Amino acid sequence: MSLFRHPAPETEPTTTLVDAIRANAQAHPEKMAIVCGDVRLSWSAFDRQINQVANLLLDGGLKKGDNIAVLSPNSDVYAALFMGILRAGGCVTPLSTMASPDALEKMLTDCGARALFVADQYLSLVDGFAAGLDLARYAIDFDHPAFEPLAPALQGATVDDPLVPIQMTDAFNLIYSSGTTGTPKGILHSHWMRAAQMDRVTPNGYDDNARTLLSTPLYSNTTIVSFLPTLFGGSTVHLMAKFDASAYLEIVQRERITHTMLVPVQYKRIMEVPNFDRFDLSSMRVKFSTSAPLRADVKADVLARFPGKLIEYYGLTEGGGVTVLVADETPDKLHTVGKPAPNTQIRLIDDAGAEVPAGAIGEICGRGPAMMVGYFGRDDLTRDYLWHDADGLAYFRSGDMGRFDEDGYLILSDRKKDMIISGGLNIYADDLERVLLSDPDVTDAAVIGVPSADWGETPYGLVVLRAGAERSPADIRDRANAQLGKSQRLSQVALRDSLPRSSIGKILKRELKAPFWEEATK
């Protein structure tokens, strides 16, 4: 049971994703549902595959709420597995392809997965331990003695709809938030939560013959929040197995793509394609951005050269506070992430849990219709992330810092854990990164806190220079420090060929910090 009391959306959801997709297949069987590479699945063909997946699992003993894991790049098969697991009454557990073998083993053990579907590309991540797990193992596209080949298994399953009754309170998906080290946290979403998110289908045009292009992985909530509305609206999802900026533009032009969800690093790479302006992108109606703040200068470039609306979402996989910035309608607010979404409340608090004064920076806490059930099997951990207002209502603590401007737009500062405390003063890395990125020779930047004998920790900049730039680290540092306050100044700057990022474009600051702190403890 959820520890949250959800604010009701304007219209209480009454149709599950499972029911909506079943109805769409009946309403327009010949329309395209899924396109991936050379594969094009009509809604009737997609529906048959969904049924085969569901019946394969049910014949294997799946019970309502069982977790079924998938480790695969984007594909038409993955799309059918995702919806087939749900139609069987299971809970989709999409695994991060960036996770270590140790983390994946912990995830599968933690959730008690009943089955695991693996693609050859990621077999090496689980091959060392999968055979020892008590679950069914299916090979999507390879032969292995410890895995049953998926294709013949599906051929042996009936194509009849199993018509498993799905309740709004049933588990929908389990997404793990940790993919590198530590104990993974499973974020559990219900059918109610996902159905509540479908209030964006009509306003965003997902039900108007949309053709949505997705190039981030299906294990990411970033992808799922566009994947599901497109299917709910009866439109067409185009999947890229691997992102490539030029190939992305070719697909938009060839397939007359109308909708897309991209993360900031993808926008940057797309806009830097040398012949960008030669592509016909006039079909694009709406572009979405999420997962990390999209830089104001990149937003401005997208608005100037990439047709269609640009909408930025700020939020967490856990749910809670969501803000929306319709960038093309508010060009003077590109440095913000917008205003709270409908039926969403956001509060900013200090370290003591008190709300901060207007205009001050505080930790972002939010509540809304789209909130997780909780961390799987960890009510204690879920409670640790809650803040309650004077009325006893639960808000989810994001760990992000921010402030509202005078017009009610949210300006992000930093992750709380990435805030640098130097000499007792709080330094927000994001402020320093903005200054570094204002240097015309800097194309990417990250600021981290490193150990300091004098100050406890001190800001350290890591930058990537544009091709052909010949600048010294000291020159980059001195230019930035000339624009920063005395307490913010960078102690050093180092040059890097690239910065480590997750599959959805977030800079992996933990990886950047680790060598410095490990050295300090020797």
pLDDT digits (tens, 9 = 90+) for 225-248: 999 999 999 999 999 999 999 999
User: Which residue blocks in 358-466 are alpha helix, DSSP H?
Assistant: 379-384, 429-437
pLDDT given at position 5: 55
Angle of helix 43-59 relative to helix 76-87, nearest 10 degrees, comes to 60
- Give the pairing of strands 425-427 and 39-42: unpaired
Taking a C-beta distance cutoff of 8 angstroms, is the pair 99, 126 a contact?
no
Taking a C-beta distance cutoff of 8 angstroms, is the pair 135, 108 a contact?
yes
Residue 106 corresponds to which tokens in the numbers above? 């912990």
Question: Which backbone phi and psi does 373 adopt, to 5 degrees?
Answer: -65, -40
Whether 43 shows a pLDDT value over 70: the answer reads yes
Whether 167 shows a pLDDT value over 60: the answer reads yes
Distance CA 213, CA 237 (A): 6
pLDDT given at position 182: 53
pLDDT given at position 4: 55
Distance CA 202, CA 308 (A): 17
| DSSP 8-state code for residue 8 | P
Between 103 and 281, where is the model more confident? 281
pLDDT given at position 207: 95
Domains and CATH numbers, the chain: 17-242 (3.40.50.12780), 314-368+379-414 (2.30.38.10), 419-520 (3.30.300.30)
pTM of the shown model: 0.85
pLDDT given at position 181: 43
| DSSP 8-state code for residue 9 | P
Kindly report the CA angle at 210 between 207 and 212, in degrees rounded to 5?
Answer: 125
pLDDT given at position 418: 77
Whether 7 shows a pLDDT value over 60: the answer reads no
Taking a C-beta distance cutoff of 8 angstroms, is the pair 411, 336 a contact?
yes
Q: Is 289 helix (H, G, I), strand (E, B) or coil?
A: strand
- Kindly list the distances between the CA atom of residue 184 and the CA atoms of 211, 342, 374, 511, in Å, as whole numbers in the listed order: 34, 31, 14, 17
**Averaged pLDDT for residues 1-21:** 74
Tell me which of 186-190, 317-321, 375-379 is least confident: 317-321
Taking a C-beta distance cutoff of 8 angstroms, is the pair 84, 37 a contact?
no
**Averaged pLDDT for residues 407-414:** 91
Residue 201 corresponds to which tokens in the numbers above? 């289908």
